[in-house]
Amino acid sequence: MPFRFRCNESVTKNVRRIATEQIKGAIADLSDPASDRVEAIHQARKRCKQIRGLIRLVRPSMRDVYDLENAHFRDASRKLSGLRDADAMLEAWHAFREYGGSEMNASVTDSVTDNLTKYRETVAEEGFDLDPRIDAFVFEMRVALERVPHWKLQKKGAKAIQAGFYNTYHRGELAMTAACKLRTDENFHEWRKRVKYHGYHLRLLRDLHEKKFRKRAMRLKELSDLLGDDHDLAVLRKLLMEHPDWTGSPSGLFEAIHAIDHRRFGMQHDAIWLGVDCYTYLAKPYRDSVAKRLAAWLQ
């Protein structure tokens, strides 16, 4: 079902409907015995992020329950993080090898690949019992599903959305500035989270200004993916530092870390330029235009 607002529904009805659809979708993802479990987990966690983005859009109007619901979906998603994180590391390494890893010594890349594969298998078979975690996640989703019909907003129409929309955009702008000033893993990861939330908001409201919002949402998705790949490499780098034997030798570790750092420098440079493009469009004239469209669209 589309992750978007309908102009013929109130903001409250839109929020309840979309949250309900995403929660039921997450339950269905993990209840299908024929589905790929890793992919089902990925989709269920993504739905939780979309729900958190949804309620962030109306956060100023949802003060009574926002903190509770945001924490609920965040914590539920974390129950499924272990296996997906191990998969992400292996995927990040394969993607890295395709981009620049070919210049590395084959013995180093093969050693890292073998050890990451074993690490993933260990997490899946020994250290990560899926069934109770999935059951716990589904239980939390059912609990949330019972609360959604009781969600209430303190404001109506455009006023229920404007502050959340602009606040999320502004926080992304501030996070980008912080990442530009100090290139730390934490700053870039924080920026990525803000980018994803703003992208969710553009998707939700794309009928408001479809051509412009769709274009911006695509650019933000590109930026989010770039920052996500950078974050995966940051986590992978840390993992290799914690397990230096995975590279086969001290010189292999140096070679792998140097190659990862070089790749990340280029990715961060590209992200900053793309970010400047994404975060220069809400100047005051455009803000006023969006406000008028919201007022006319959401009664």
- Look at residue 131 and tell me whether its pLDDT is greater than 90: no
- Look at residue 143 and tell me whether its pLDDT is greater than 90: yes
Going from the C-alpha of 42 to that of each of 143, 144, 151, 189, 193, the distances in angstroms are 21, 19, 27, 19, 17
- Among the residue ranges 202-206, 207-211, 257-261, 283-287, the one predicted with the least confidence is 283-287
Query: In 3D, which of 80, 90, 83, 20 has the Cα closest to residue 50?
Result: 20
Q: What is the pLDDT of residue 101?
A: 62
- Look at residue 264 and tell me whether its pLDDT is greater than 90: yes
Straight-line distance from the first to the last Cα atom of the chain, in angstroms, rounded to the nearest whole number: 23
Q: pTM of the predicted model, to two decimals?
A: 0.91
Coil/strand/helix, residue 120: helix
Coil/strand/helix, residue 183: coil
Dihedral sign for Cα 135, 136, 140, 146, please.
positive
- Look at residue 123 and tell me whether its pLDDT is greater than 90: no
Alpha-carbon gap, residue 113 to 120, rounded angstroms? 11
pLDDT band at 231 (very low <50, low <70, confident <90, very high): very high
Pairwise pLDDT comparison (100 vs 57), residue with the higher score? 57
Pairwise pLDDT comparison (115 vs 87), residue with the higher score? 115
Cα-based angle 182, 185, 187 (whole degrees, multiple of 5): 50
Output the average pLDDT for the chain. Answer: 89
- Look at residue 298 and tell me whether its pLDDT is greater than 70: no
Domains of the chain: 11-297 (1.40.20.10)
- Look at residue 37 and tell me whether its pLDDT is greater than 90: no
b/e code 39-54 from CB counts within 10 Å (16+ = b): ebbbbbbebbbbbbbb
Q: What is the pLDDT of residue 32?
A: 84
